[in-house]
Every structure is written in C-alpha cells, then in structure tokens.
Structure 1
C-alpha cells in the first residue's frame, strides 16, 4: 500500500490544499457550512426550496452550478443573503430583519 507522504500530490489535492490554506470555500461548501448549524439536512433543504435532493448534492459537491433562481431559494431557506452564498461575506447594506 503506497504511503501518502511519498506519493506526489495530484493537481486536485494541490488545489484543495491551496483553498484550505487561503480560506477560500466553494459555493457548495458555503451552502453546506450554512445549513449544518441549522440542523438542515440536504433532503430538508430540497423540501424547503423545491429543488431536488440530487441537485442539492451536486451543488454542494461542486458537480454542478445552481441557477440564479435556485440560489435565491437556497438563500431564503437558509435565511441568508445571496451575496453571502456567492462571495462568502456580506457585501453591501445590511438586510432588514425578517418578520
């Protein structure tokens, strides 16, 4: 069995290491990071948004990109701004509180 420390890193592994080192997260990772503390599983997010569970899985794994309309529904289900999903930080005016 090869030892990981002796095998040269793959391009994918180097990119992952770079993202981790710089703190950059993908859109899917940000969505997963936002839903987990809320206790929302992928199947529940699918129910809340009307987006299929498989599409949610693909978005979170980076296999596919959501349509803008899907981003809006995901952001609403997570009570978050679309800008936070896209960029990872709030840019612009603060959102008024939900009633």
Structure 2
C-alpha cells in the first residue's frame, strides 16, 4: 500500500504555528511539559513533538491539552 503524500508546506507551517501557540500558552500558565503530559495522559515526547510542529495532534489531543493548560481550544488554533 503506498504511503500518503506529505502535507503541503502551508500545512506544515500552520502545524508549527499551533505548536508555538501551545508552548506559549503552557509557559504563560507556568506549566512544564511533564505536568501537561501527566494531566492529559499524553507522553512527554509527544508533547515535545506537538510543540515543535513535528507531530500532528488529533482534535481530542488538542482538547485535552487546552483543558490541561486552562485555555479555550480556540486560543491554541487561532
């Protein structure tokens, strides 16, 4: 079975922007990646990859991250 085509550059750029928003919100809330990982049930390496834009989070993951940080979901994806 052929692998899926990589996402276009604009999608990758938007993914990195969302990751930056997550990191900025986390730091503003004075939370560590470890604390967010524990509160969401997501492993810390995944949090790191999401913040760096290397991993595309699911909607459920974004909802859990927003709740753990204490911000509306829209704040992370605007």
1:27 aligns with 2:29: no
C-alpha displacement of 1:37? 2.0
| Partner residue, 1:47 | 38
The correspondence for 1:81, drawn from 69, 72, 78, is: 72
Calculate the aligned-residue CA RMSD, in Å.
1.5
Kindly indicate whether structure 1 or structure 2 has the higher relative contact order, using CA contacts under 8 Å at least 6 residues apart: 2
Bigger share in helix: 2
Q: Distance in 2 between matches of 1:50 and 1:76?
A: 12
Larger Rg, first or second structure (1 or 2): 1
C-alpha displacement of 1:80? 1.1
| Partner residue, 1:56 | 47
Q: Residues 45-72 of structure 1: CA distance to partner in whole angstroms, max 9, x if unpaired?
A: 1001111101100000110111110000
* TM-score using structure 2 length: 0.76
Number of residue equivalences? 64
Q: Residues 6-42 of structure 1: CA distance to partner in whole angstroms, max 9, x if unpaired?
A: xxxxxxxxxxxxx9xxxxx701100110011222111
Runs (5+) with no aligned partner, structure 2: 1-12
Q: Distance in 1 between matches of 2:20 and 2:70?
A: 17
